[in-house]
Amino acid sequence: MKPETPSPLVIDRIVRNALEEDLSRGDLTTHACIAADTQGSAEFRARENLVVSGLPVVRHVFRLVDETLTFVAHVEDGVLLNKGDLAATVSGDARSILMAERVALNFLQRMSGVASQARRYIDCLPEGAKTRIADTRKTTPGLRAFERYAVRCGGAHNHRNDLSSAVMIKDNHIAAAGSVTTAIQRAKAYAPHTTKIECEVDTFPQLEEALAAGADIIMLDNFDNDAVSRAVEFVQGRAVLEASGGITLERIPSLAETGVDVISSGALTHSAKAVDIGLDWLD
């Protein structure tokens, strides 16, 4: 299923913010060097293999800078582009295109970087594996909606959106509550009935306790593959099992083969690099 794009209101808010940074005081160079009403066209092309993400954002960048520009996306977000492939074309007032170029690329390169990173993890999953790859809340401040979308474009899934989207009981919460059981009980009593309860566990006894206390999801923190396997076998589908900590691309295949439901990794967002996409002018 094509991932849901961020709401138009969110795109509008974030793009305005970015344009204020770069463009709000004008573009001296373009205005001085390019004659008014000069027309032009330019193409967004991949300069490396990548999964594209951010085209609706780029469309809005151009629209806010100059609503007379024509932007055509030739592919949909989530598509794999090979080096040299065409992603989109923009045409119209040359000054406007030049003024919007850097902001457009900054979004597209970063979002495609996250999508490509996510795809790398997905590509490591064994054929037919039911394990999900999920992101975390380790996103760039101000860009969470865009990065979560990019993760989905890459084929991975999102974890909870924010501190209110699900309960996630960690070691500090357990310590403060006194036990896994008490923490889960309190959370179930307090949280909306529409909220899942996830509990992070470090040990097998904690796992058993969390399962007995009714956790919906149990996060196996830094369990090795053997421990994960045993957990899967023990839980028997009575809770969703999520492996986290020490996740590397190399480990994905073997970890997925344990049958764990979810593998989550902050690296999908916090360690993604911008990918190389260029805006090439057509004569």
Taking residues 32 to 51 in sequence order and writing x for each that binds a copy of itself by CB under 8 A, - otherwise, the string is xxxxx-x-------------
Taking residues 195 to 224 in sequence order and writing x for each that binds a copy of itself by CB under 8 A, - otherwise, the string is xx-x-----------------xx-------
According to DSSP, the β-strands at 50-51 and 262-264 are unpaired
Q: Are 89 and 72 in contact (CB under 8 A)?
A: yes
Region from 77-85, 118-126, 182-190, 244-252 binding a copy of itself, contact rule CB under 8 A: 182-190
Smallest gap from Cβ 167 to a copy of itself, in A, equals 5
Residues serving a catalytic function are: 102, 138, 170, 200, 221
Q: H-helix or E-strand containing 145? A: helix 144-153
- Strand, coil or helix: what is 157? strand
Q: Which one of residues 74, 138, 230, 251 is an interface residue with a copy of itself (CB under 8 A)? A: 138
User: d(Cα 149, Cα 94) in Å, to the nearest integer?
Assistant: 30
Q: Which one of residues 72, 86, 176, 249 is an interface residue with a copy of itself (CB under 8 A)? A: 176
* Comparison of 85 and 112: residue with beta carbon closer to a copy of itself: 112
User: d(Cα 250, Cα 247) in Å, to the nearest integer?
Assistant: 8
* Comparison of 51 and 268: residue with beta carbon closer to a copy of itself: 268
User: d(Cα 55, Cα 44) in Å, to the nearest integer?
Assistant: 10
Q: Which one of residues 172, 236, 250, 282 is an interface residue with a copy of itself (CB under 8 A)? A: 172
* Comparison of 67 and 226: residue with beta carbon closer to a copy of itself: 67
- Distance (Å) of CA 108 to CA 53, 57, 113, 116, 152: 6, 8, 8, 12, 15
User: d(Cα 174, Cα 193) in Å, to the nearest integer?
Assistant: 21
User: d(Cα 155, Cα 51) in Å, to the nearest integer?
Assistant: 10
Applying CB under 8 A, does 27 fall inside the site for a copy of itself?
yes
* Comparison of 70 and 165: residue with beta carbon closer to a copy of itself: 165
Region from 13-21, 84-92, 205-213, 249-257 binding a copy of itself, contact rule CB under 8 A: 13-21
Smallest gap from Cβ 281 to a copy of itself, in A, equals 6
Show contacts with a copy of itself in window 55-114 (CB under 8 A). 64-66, 94, 98-99, 102-103, 105-107, 109-110
User: d(Cα 256, Cα 4) in Å, to the nearest integer?
Assistant: 26
- 52 secondary structure, DSSP code: -
